[in-house]
Amino acid sequence: MVALETSKKTVMECESEHFLMAQRQLDEIALEMGLDPELHERLRYPKRALIVTIPIKMDDGTVQTFTGYRVQHDVTLGPAKGGIRFHPEVNLGEVSSLAMLMTWKCSLMNLPYGGAKGGIRCEPWKLSQNELERLTRRYTSEIINLIGPDKDIPAPDMYTNEQTMAWIMDTYSINVGHTVPSVVTGKPVSVGGSLGRFEATGRGVAYCVRRAASYVGLTTKSPTVVVQGFGNVGAIAARLLHESGYTIVAVSDVHGGIYNPEGLDIPRLQAYLSEMGKVSGFPGSKDISNQELLALPCDVLIPAALAGQITVENVHDLKCKIVVEGANGPTSPEADKILHEKGILVVPDILANAGGVTVSYFEWVQGLMHLFWSEQEVNHRLEEIMGRACDQVFEMTAKTGLRPRMSALRIAVGRLAEAKKLRGLYP
Ligand code: NAD
């Protein structure tokens, strides 16, 4: 294990534009809210970062060595919380910026957590199930001193899933000598996962759409919605909005999009997607490109695929009233400013896609209590927390004139700053 002292100038800054961008965003809000300069300086860097070397035996008998990371940005409000991703682009800077975003997201949602993120630099699609299991278990052993239900609770992220979480939980449990389900969230329900977790992010997006529609005073009987990305987040949000009377006029996946101004039959589209593996060609709709999709006239646009989709190049083409960011970072900072000037309401990612971490929190709480809730109870509590956070962000926006993204950050940083002031220098 190699522990890094994360003092002033670190490899994080050199390695990643992501990390510098996350710092610039903090700098902007720190200046705006007059944040104490000493506190500001402390929040620009993670509390802890660990780099580990992971040798594993491959199926062909050779040994390959991978690099893994776990970064805790802050632990003032409680144990650190954040996903683990397997991807060839994982590096210390990226993981550190994502850990910082988790701190803001948890604080904004008023969850008793700090922010963390982890990952392994690898090409998961080239590894067999057995190799993935050995990689996950060895990584867990290497970071075991950092994680635990009261210390740091991992969850799934890109190319990790319920099975990955079950392996982490099992490896941790073997090491401590008893079963500890609450060391991870996003586990299978059969080993202590929560009902409603799988749908939570899309459901949270749908709640935000309804709240935002009432905030901007959308009076249309059946508001129109365009969804980019028809995966876990986008498809679930589309189905729930369809069920509650919204008209989903267009959706897309990596292969392209489809459009029907009269509305798409979402349950039939889901069946079509399961059979064909893509949305294009869906009967009764017109095939369109992903760029055409972003420029369609609609009430609500939900980018739920990738980062960097709305930029200065295409922001002037948008014809929606509301953008609800299901994906992480779909709007560039410059485009965000332009949308605000044009009077388009943007519900920022740290609010719009926080349903996942919120139900992760419920999973952790249920595990610690050994008492499990019905799906209805989970959804009801999620709606309450999402609704409250939306109202707070919209109120701050109305009061200060800040962009909603900056309002959300101001609430998150303000809450953390107050706790830090009361606690002292440790966290
Ligand atoms: P997913 O893999 O289930 O779905 C992604 C969808 O986007 C797929 O339909 C894919 O075909 C589509 N897509 C990929 N490239 C595209 C492109 N160039 N144009 C249009 N569509 C494209 O992923 P997901 O879990 O739904 O996550 C989507 C986004 O939401 C990601 O940014 C992720 O970080 C974010 N997010 C997810 C969760 C969660 O709980 N799943 C939580 C927070 C944030």
Residues marked active site are found at: 117
Amino acid found at 400: T
Q: Is the CB of 353 under 6 A from ligand 1?
A: yes
* Residue to mutate (ligand 1; options 201, 233, 287, 349; most atoms within 8 A of CB): 233
Q: Cite the residue boundaries of each domain of the chain with CATH code 3.40.50.720.
A: 200-352
Nearest CA to ligand 1 atom 4: 231
Phi, psi angle pair for 401, to nearest 5°: 80, 5
Residues β-bridged to residue 252: 228, 257
Nearest CA to ligand 1 atom 16: 254
CA atoms of 43 and 29, how far apart (whole Å) = 12
Residue 7 pLDDT: 47
CA atoms of 419 and 427, how far apart (whole Å) = 10
**Architecture of domain 2-180 in CATH?**
3-Layer(aba) Sandwich (3.40)
Residue 347 pLDDT: 98
pLDDT digits (tens, 9 = 90+) for 342-376: 999 999 999 999 999 999 999 999 999 999 999 99
pTM (2 decimals)? Answer: 0.94
**pLDDT averaged over every residue in the chain:** 95
The class of domain 200-352 in CATH terms is alpha beta
CB 82 within 8 A of CB 102: yes
Nearest CA to ligand 1 atom 5: 231
pLDDT digits (tens, 9 = 90+) for 127-140: 999 999 999 999 99
pLDDT by position in tens, the chain (length 427): 344 444 455 666 666 888 998 999 999 999 999 999 999 999 999 999 999 999 999 999 999 999 999 999 999 999 999 999 999 999 999 999 999 999 999 999 999 999 999 999 999 999 999 999 999 999 999 999 999 999 999 999 999 999 999 999 999 999 999 999 999 999 999 999 999 999 999 999 999 999 999 999 998 889 999 999 999 999 999 999 999 999 999 999 999 999 999 999 999 999 999 999 999 999 999 999 999 999 999 999 999 999 899 999 999 999 999 999 999 999 999 999 999 999 999 999 999 999 999 999 999 999 999 999 999 999 999 999 999 999 999 999 999 999 999 999 999 999 999 999 999 888 8
Q: Is the CB of 356 under 6 A from ligand 1?
A: yes
The kind and range of the H/E element at 251 are strand 247-253
* Residue to mutate (ligand 1; options 98, 160, 227, 253; most atoms within 8 A of CB): 253
Q: Is the CB of 230 under 6 A from ligand 1?
A: yes
Nearest CA to ligand 1 atom 15: 254
Q: Is the CB of 327 under 6 A from ligand 1?
A: yes
Instruction: Compute, in angstroms, the gap from residue 306 CA to the centroid of ligand 1.
Output: 6
Q: Cite the residue boundaries of each domain of the chain with CATH code 3.40.50.10860.
A: 2-180
Nearest CA to ligand 1 atom 18: 254
Instruction: Compute, in angstroms, the gap from residue 7 CA to the centroid of ligand 1.
Output: 34
- CA 189 vs CA 84, 148, 260: distances in Å: 19, 19, 37
Q: Which of 237, 211, 410, 412 is nearest to 326 (CA)?
A: 237
Edge-to-edge strand ranges of the sheet holding 114-121: 2-4, 48-57, 63-74, 114-121, 80-86, 152-156
Q: Is the CB of 305 under 6 A from ligand 1?
A: yes
Instruction: Compute, in angstroms, the gap from residue 176 CA to the centroid of ligand 1.
Output: 35
Instruction: Compute, in angstroms, the gap from residue 422 CA to the centroid of ligand 1.
Output: 39
CB 302 within 8 A of CB 226: yes
H helix and E strand count, the chain: 15, 13
